[in-house]
Structure 1
Amino acid sequence: MSRFPIPRRDTRRQAVTTGLADLDIRVFNAIADSPSPLLDQTMKPLSAAADKGKLWFAVAGGLALTGRPSLQRGAVRGVVTLGVTSLVANQVGKRLHPRRRPDASRITLRRFRRQPTSSSFPSGHSASAAAFACAVAVENRPAGFLLGGVAGLVGLSRIVTGAHYPGDVLGGFVLGAGVAVLGAQLTPPVDDHAIVLERPRRSAQPPRPAGEGLVILLNPESGDGTGMRVQERIAEALPAAEIVDLSEVTDLAATAREAAARAEVLGVAGGDGTVGTVAREAVTAGLPLVVFPAGTFNHFAKDIGCGSVDDAVARVRAGEAVDVDVLWLNDDTVILNTSSIGAYPDFVRARDRYAHGVAKPIAAIRAGLHVLRHSEPVTVTVNGREQQILFFFLGNSMYGSSGFFPGRRTRLDDGLIDVRYLTTGHRFETLRVAASLISGRIKNSRLYHEAQVPEFQIDAAQPIRVAHDGEAGELTTRAAYLLDYRGLTVFGTSEVPRTAL
């Protein structure tokens, strides 16, 4: 037999616990005794700001106002995770392992007048801080890393002000991070699409200071009088350009074809539908295109950096041109922006109607719910499978982040068609879609489908109307989309300016 008694397991555990508690107290005393004017001035206000989650609610409000979907989702996830963590820490953690608060008598400047009296373990402030920061990181890593540093300072403030031992803060961090990780498993984050793109391909064009070689098709009556002002500005800035008056033209395509035959550069001043028709002739003739905004929205002109007539004039004078993607519908119609079937046009109109005086995300959610209640689906065949589609959006190049509400595209030359659609004919579909819209998690819904592809086709037994670039479109039983990668040369840029986003 051994000459020395073997310690019991309970005795060993007690020794480890006693040792850790002693270490905890020693570290606390070292921090409490450390003289630091910086800590004296900053830690007490920071700890007070984090009380009852005020700091994190303010941060969540700021994230929600950024307009970036990942940060907005992070704000929602952060607030929910913080609430769950606070409940667990205060109602479960503090009751399972009660612990007396530290003796803060040696702390003077940093100590609060009224020290908390609840159980010291775990630190609720630290748990909430870690929960919020980790939850935001699930949706947006850079923001989460930044907030993680703030959360660490909040935890330090609880030690410096004498409210908690270091072990309490560490326990709070573990609890908060654990709840955030569990939440990510139960509700996975949205995977925003991201691709690596080649550099924009510039097209060598000679400068045209006076608009030499330009033939510009323009309707003076377009845009509620905008066309007349645009015509006057072009005539003044580019006196060598030929301007073709479209006010009496009945066949725009034929007129554009005739203009392309004598032009070195084909120009157009009008809305997106007019620009698409003229762009078709420019592609066919192999001519560069210059776009002057003279319509109602001018999405394409803004996206290529020609949001004003002066912008377009400057591009022409400098010879700044790039190659952008062109989308063909049924090998005949050029689409520069978007196409849709079903209720998407209704959704856009409702969103614009609700947008007055409220944030865009709120208007989009209201519009989505309006479409669900009042619009009828269309029956089409996609990839050989018949489906009932309520909402169908298709874009030339990728539009914004993933989800039901496409944002603005950042490039016009990524070589992809952006397809998004919502199917119906499922049990509790309105409730399911509404919950997904409100939570910002439509990307994970089984009713929502998304693809980024170079070509796409829809077939229908009955004629359906295919809208594109603001035009109502024709009735057809087949909609075949094919992308022409960097098939159009335009004066402008293929990277959408930030002012257009």
Structure 2
Amino acid sequence: MESTGALKPSTLDSVMRRLSRAANHGFLWMAIAGVLALIGGQPRRAAARGMLALAGSSALANGVLKPLFPRRRPPVRAWINPKRGVEFPTSSSFPSGHSASAAAFTTAVAMESPATGVVLAPLAAAVAYSRVHNGVHWPSDVFAGIAVGGAVAAGTRRWWAVRDEEPADLGPECVVPALPGGDGLVVFTNPGSGSEDDGIVDAIREALPAAVIIEFNPDIDFDKQIEAKLRESKPRAIGVCGGDGTVVTVADAATRHNLPLAVFPGGTLNHFARDVGVADVAETVTAVESGQAAFVDHAVVTTDTGVTARFLNTASLGGYPDAVRLREKWEPRFGKWPAAAAAMIRVLAAAEPMSVTIDGTKASIWMLFVGNGRYSPGDQVPMSRPELNRGLLDVRYLRADRKFSRARLLFAAATGTLGSSPVYIHALAPTLSVQVNAESVAIATDGEVVADARRFDFSTEPAAVAVYRISKD
């Protein structure tokens, strides 16, 4: 401390003074979060986690620890350059709130986006050092602040899981036609999928010039268009460029006709494409031309009204479809997890309990989620899907027949104790039977409402469709 205080005046004083002021009340980190949010995707998730960690660390450091551990600031007389031009705080010196905020934001960002965290780390370190350089904190204050911020950021994992960007484990690799230039491939595209990249179809045409590309007519049933084109062209493989709703429609046709499926992520929501490991056009093109593929499971739901629907991602009853729609509406502004939490609160507040019989056991529930394959984590809100190859359904539902069930559910979600809460039920099973003991309710599969019914039987079709994907070995 004495050696730092004895530093002669230099241009670094001005830099440290301005940097410290920029970080006052977290403004520096808020500005950076705003930039990351505009980028979208992984950086946006990083910004959301960073801001939550920043809020938590600031509240803990300034609102709890400073009053509990009062400590005098470094004496001004110890400095050759008194206060180095910064306003001397009157609050407790221990711990450093600036350091806690810097560590919390940067650590949380790094959890979602390691590359961004590496870029921000020197800035966070400089902010922490500036508090000592400017003479307003002891070094131990700064180290304590860094520890507090890092711990708060790490603690967010307990109630908000970090999404695993690794693709899911698929079924066995299989022999499928290698189609140089896309010869023998028909690709269906949906201009209404909300693509974030208007050039993706042109990229497919350029990379696979021999492929036949068909744009869906939104006024005609997609299944009819697919069937007509398959009868006409008799392709060796079928492709799709669109979001999850479009992918499941074409995948259903691929299963019926025993054709391998090429997925080009071209919609706003591409959960299935991400999970099978085809993140861009180039990866799918390489797999198509080399004939590399792996099997994935399909899930199926059959209703008592005669409707049978396959789904690749999820099916849901009750308020879950409404929660998903609200989350997707709010996600661009707030990020996925904050939007999901707010949507869940909004839906639960207005929801009515649903009386059901699940595999022979009567229960009252708020909503039910059925995933194709195992989702993770099991004891929190699911964020990723590590497996698509075991012929299992991921079943989760929220019980309404427990006292104060809504309040207990929200408390469990906020404290990371969903896994031990009696109102949150999670199981893996190859089949599931649900009987609604009241009026018919709607079921949504992969974001689309497909039927109203009172009985729903879920099952899986292991290794139902071969998906072009580069071998991960």
TM range (shorter): 0.5 to 0.7
Matched, 1:48 2:21: yes
Q: Which of the residues 66, 76, 95 maps onto 2:52?
A: 76
What count of residue pairs does the alignment treat as equivalent? 440
Secondary structure at the counterpart of residue 51 of structure 2: helix
Q: Which amino acid aligns with 2:297?
A: V
Q: Bigger radius of gyration, 1 or 2? A: 1
Q: Which of the residues 88, 93, 102 maps onto 1:116?
A: 88
Map of 1:196-211 to 2, 5 A cutoff? 203-209=174-180
Q: Deviation at 1:129? A: 1.6
1:37–1:451: structure 2 CA closer, same or farther, 3 Å change rule? farther
1:192–1:213: structure 2 CA closer, same or farther, 3 Å change rule? closer
Give me the whole-angstrom Cα distance separating, in 2, the residues matched to 1:252 and 1:302: 27
| Conservation of the 8 A alpha-carbon contact between 1:89 and 1:122 | no
Q: Deviation at 1:340? A: 1.5
Residues 344-382 of structure 1: CA deviation (Å, up to 9, x unaligned): 223334445667877655654554344224443333344
| Conservation of the 8 A alpha-carbon contact between 2:295 and 2:464 | yes
1:140–1:183: structure 2 CA closer, same or farther, 3 Å change rule? closer
Give the alignment's TM-score, normalised by structure 2.
0.65
Secondary structure at the counterpart of residue 162 of structure 1: coil
Q: Which of the residues 303, 318, 321 maps onto 2:289?
A: 318
Q: Which of the residues 87, 106, 109 maps onto 2:80?
A: 106
Question: What does residue 338 of structure 1 align with?
Answer: 314
1:394–1:47: structure 2 CA closer, same or farther, 3 Å change rule? same
Map of 1:150-161 to 2, 5 A cutoff? 153-161=126-134
CA RMSD of aligned residues (A): 5.7
Give me the whole-angstrom Cα distance separating, in 2, the residues matched to 1:385 and 1:192: 34
1:34–1:207: structure 2 CA closer, same or farther, 3 Å change rule? same
Q: Which amino acid aligns with 1:490?
A: V
Residues 226-251 of structure 1: CA deviation (Å, up to 9, x unaligned): xxxx9xx99x95489999x9x99999
| Conservation of the 8 A alpha-carbon contact between 1:127 and 1:174 | no
Map of 1:6-17 to 2, 5 A cutoff? none
Question: What does residue 445 of structure 2 align with?
Answer: 468
Give me the whole-angstrom Cα distance separating, in 1, the residues matched to 2:151 and 2:271: 41
Give the alignment's TM-score, normalised by structure 1.
0.62
| Conservation of the 8 A alpha-carbon contact between 2:178 and 2:288 | yes
1:122–1:221: structure 2 CA closer, same or farther, 3 Å change rule? closer
Secondary structure at the counterpart of residue 77 of structure 2: coil
**Structure with bigger RCO (C-alpha 8 Å, 6+ apart):** 2
Q: Deviation at 1:170? A: 0.7
Secondary structure at the counterpart of residue 112 of structure 1: helix
Q: Which of the residues 169, 189, 194 maps onto 2:139?
A: 169
1:85–1:63: structure 2 CA closer, same or farther, 3 Å change rule? farther
Secondary structure at the counterpart of residue 457 of structure 2: strand
Map of 1:190-229 to 2, 5 A cutoff? 190-192=160-162, 203-209=174-180
Q: Which of the residues 243, 246, 249 maps onto 1:274?
A: 249
Question: What does residue 482 of structure 1 align with?
Answer: 460
Question: What does residue 344 of structure 2 align with?
Answer: 368
Give me the whole-angstrom Cα distance separating, in 1, the residues matched to 2:366 and 2:25: 44
Question: What does residue 305 of structure 2 align with?
Answer: none
Give me the whole-angstrom Cα distance separating, in 1, the residues matched to 2:75 and 2:214: 84
Give me the whole-angstrom Cα distance separating, in 2, the residues matched to 1:92 and 1:251: 66
Alignment gaps of 5+ in structure 1:
1-27, 225-229, 496-501
Residues 186-243 of structure 1: CA deviation (Å, up to 9, x unaligned): 99554558689658965444443576656x698x99969xxxxx9xx99x95489999
Q: Deviation at 1:488? A: 1.7
Q: Which amino acid aligns with 2:355?
A: T
Give me the whole-angstrom Cα distance separating, in 2, the residues matched to 1:223 and 1:161: 56
1:93–1:63: structure 2 CA closer, same or farther, 3 Å change rule? farther
Q: Which amino acid aligns with 2:362?
A: E
Question: What does residue 5 of structure 1 align with?
Answer: none
Map of 1:415-430 to 2, 5 A cutoff? 417-430=393-406
Residues 247-272 of structure 1: CA deviation (Å, up to 9, x unaligned): 9999969969x969x76445679934
Q: Deviation at 1:416? A: 5.9
Give me the whole-angstrom Cα distance separating, in 1, the residues matched to 2:155 and 2:333: 37
Secondary structure at the counterpart of residue 391 of structure 1: strand
Secondary structure at the counterpart of residue 81 of structure 2: coil
Question: What does residue 356 of structure 2 align with?
Answer: 380
Give me the whole-angstrom Cα distance separating, in 2, the residues matched to 1:175 and 1:296: 40
| Conservation of the 8 A alpha-carbon contact between 2:295 and 2:466 | yes
Q: Which of the residues 280, 283, 289 maps onto 2:261?
A: 289
Give me the whole-angstrom Cα distance separating, in 2, the residues matched to 1:316 and 1:114: 60
Map of 1:407-422 to 2, 5 A cutoff? 417-422=393-398
Secondary structure at the counterpart of residue 368 of structure 1: helix
Give me the whole-angstrom Cα distance separating, in 1, the residues matched to 2:125 and 2:410: 37
Give me the whole-angstrom Cα distance separating, in 1, the residues matched to 2:140 and 2:419: 34
Q: Which amino acid aligns with 1:458?
A: S
Residues 63-92 of structure 1: CA deviation (Å, up to 9, x unaligned): 777566576345323313312321345544
Q: Which amino acid aligns with 2:63?
A: L
1:211–1:474: structure 2 CA closer, same or farther, 3 Å change rule? farther
| Conservation of the 8 A alpha-carbon contact between 1:364 and 1:405 | no
Q: Which amino acid aligns with 2:88?
A: P
1:418–1:202: structure 2 CA closer, same or farther, 3 Å change rule? same
Give me the whole-angstrom Cα distance separating, in 2, the residues matched to 1:148 and 1:426: 46
Alignment gaps of 5+ in structure 2:
194-200, 303-307
| Conservation of the 8 A alpha-carbon contact between 2:187 and 2:212 | no
| Conservation of the 8 A alpha-carbon contact between 1:312 and 1:492 | yes
Secondary structure at the counterpart of residue 106 of structure 1: coil
Give identity over the alignment, percent.
25
1:268–1:103: structure 2 CA closer, same or farther, 3 Å change rule? closer
Identify the range of structure 1 (180-189 vs 391-400) with the bigger mean alpha-carbon deviation. Answer: 180-189
| Conservation of the 8 A alpha-carbon contact between 1:456 and 1:480 | yes
